[in-house]
Amino acid sequence: MTDLTKRTAAETAAAIANGEVSAVEVAEAHLDRIAKVDDRINAFLHVDAEGALAAARAVDAKRAAGEKLGPLAGVPLALKDLFTTRGIPTTCGSKILEGWLPPYDATVTRRLREADVVILGKSNMDEFAMGSSTENSAYGPTRNPWDLDRIPGGSGGGSAAALASFQAPLAIGTDTGGSIRQPGAVTGTVGVKPTYGGVSRYGMVAFSSSLDQGGPCARTVLDAALLHEAIAGYDMLDSTSIDAPVPAVVEAAKLGATQGIKGLRVGVVKQFAGEGYQAGVVQRFQESVELLRALGAEIVEIDCPSFDFALPAYYLIAPSECSSNLARFDAMRYGLRVGDDGAHSAEEVTALTREAGFGAEVKRRIMLGTYALSSGYYDAYYGQAQKVRTLIIRDFEAAFTQVDVLVSPTTPTTAFKIGERADDPMAMYLADLCTIPTNLAGNAGMSLPCGLAPEDGLPVGLQILAPAMADDRLYRVGAALEAALLEQWGRPILDLAPAL
């Protein structure tokens, strides 16, 4: 492995800006790495080598012309295949969109290009972002670089695995119920769910519109902050976009790493503990809380009783919105079309296409959501779930009057084996137990690695939660803890992963 693929995004950008290395050399190193290892990982669904090298050459030309380069110019990135990319396949991990070439870029894609980020390709994911393991991709599961028999989390397992296997220093994910943070936790990487509305959803194919949020994935907190600032900000094309300045996340990350968190109030959520939590996960989490205390934070236990009902509320709200959003895949406008032979009606073509194009998990959620929204059941199910959502929001509001941030394990367990929970949807859904409340409330959340579980040697994630539009608090606390842990370990956690 070349040194170029092991550098952080910040280091890579600095090396390109000062002429130590060219953007083309960086892109080539990462494309070579993909060619070497991705047949075992399956992190990418499509590699755009030609586009990546063209973008890298443009960065080198700018530097040669004396133009000032941005903070991420020339840095390679894996883009989750939920974001439209003009002229490049966007499948959402589904057969129903196989071969679809979007005619436009998502706002996130456009902002990445404007920042001169080099998009290597599209990363694998659970179909339409529905899953917690990336086993639901129509193009095969992604494997965890720490153990190829285990899942890399989901739905954004491709993005997290690309980071952990040094195929890209940056990635973009989406988080509907934990799909950025949970993969980050089980792969030893950093994942951030920004405040809902903080990053535009225009061109991000919808699963659950009131919950979906794109965000940065990286190997360090500072790299995540740099990517966050590149993609965030108001977008008039997204009606839910927040028209307010982007929180100063890069400044907060630098402040946390250098000045610490003395005096900050950190809340430990009482509900995120107990039965079902792996002993090694609990141990590493408790050690991290004590480290935060040693760094000068005030630790407070916080009671959020409605969090116990977050999981069932989520699995009524998300499928309900999904059943509405996925109705657009009717075989009439784009994507797969089955049975269009003149012998079938339009309704029959739609039914045959959905039968062939949607996978089992997507069908399960569409049926669940359609049932929850049906006449006579709407108030009993969807309506009640929205009331629980309000209670969760109130619990967060009460908690943030007492503390600056909340912390918890990101996931109850480390990465489980591929196929282990495939026939048990409830066991699979429990992987998102700690992450879902944040999506229901629209707050900001981060996962960062806090060690390896003693019983299996796999990464454990610590989750930090902050109020809406206080994303900078995540980065200050995350950077302080990251620096303290790095001092303890003596090297980055990914250096402990088995060589590929």
Q: What is the pLDDT of residue 370?
A: 94
pLDDT digits (tens, 9 = 90+) for 448-480: 999 999 999 999 999 999 999 999 999 999 999
pLDDT at 486 over 90: yes
Catalytic, out of 22, 80, 132, 208? 80
288 assigned to active site = no
Catalytic, out of 155, 320, 323, 408? 155
Catalytic, out of 94, 133, 165, 179? 179
Once rounded to an integer, what is the mean pLDDT over residues 178-182? 98
With respect to residue 394, please indicate whether it lies within any of the assigned structural domains: yes
CATH number of the domain encompassing residue 413: 3.90.1300.10
pLDDT at 76 over 70: yes
With respect to residue 415, please indicate whether it lies within any of the assigned structural domains: yes
**Nearest in space to 300 (alpha carbons), one of 401, 394, 393:** 401
Q: What is the pLDDT of residue 2?
A: 54
122 assigned to active site = no
Q: Total structural domains in the chain? A: 1
Please indicate, yes or no, whether the overall pTM of this predicted structure exceeds 0.75: yes
Q: What is the pLDDT of residue 334?
A: 86
With respect to residue 361, please indicate whether it lies within any of the assigned structural domains: no
Once rounded to an integer, what is the mean pLDDT over residues 361-385? 93
pLDDT digits (tens, 9 = 90+) for 388-409: 999 999 999 999 999 999 999 9
With respect to residue 31, please indicate whether it lies within any of the assigned structural domains: yes
- Residue 39's domain comprises 6-307+389-496
Once rounded to an integer, what is the mean pLDDT over residues 265-272? 96
Q: What is the pLDDT of residue 427?
A: 86
Q: Are 75 and 12 in contact (CB under 8 A)?
A: yes
With respect to residue 138, please indicate whether it lies within any of the assigned structural domains: yes
pLDDT at 1 over 60: no
- What's the order of all strands across the beta sheet hosting 118-123? 44-47, 118-123, 76-80, 170-174, 214-218, 190-193, 444-452, 459-466, 405-409, 265-269, 298-302
With respect to residue 147, please indicate whether it lies within any of the assigned structural domains: yes
pLDDT over 90 for what percent of the chain?
Answer: 95
320 assigned to active site = no
Q: Are 256 and 249 in contact (CB under 8 A)?
A: no
With respect to residue 352, please indicate whether it lies within any of the assigned structural domains: no
pLDDT digits (tens, 9 = 90+) for 220-249: 999 999 999 999 999 999 999 999 999 999
pLDDT at 379 over 70: yes
Q: What is the pLDDT of residue 422?
A: 87
The chain-wide mean pLDDT, for the chain, equals 96
Q: What is the pLDDT of residue 129?
A: 97
With respect to residue 330, please indicate whether it lies within any of the assigned structural domains: no
pLDDT digits (tens, 9 = 90+) for 310-335: 999 999 999 999 999 999 999 998 89
Comparing 31-40, 129-138, 269-278, the range with the smallest average pLDDT is: 269-278
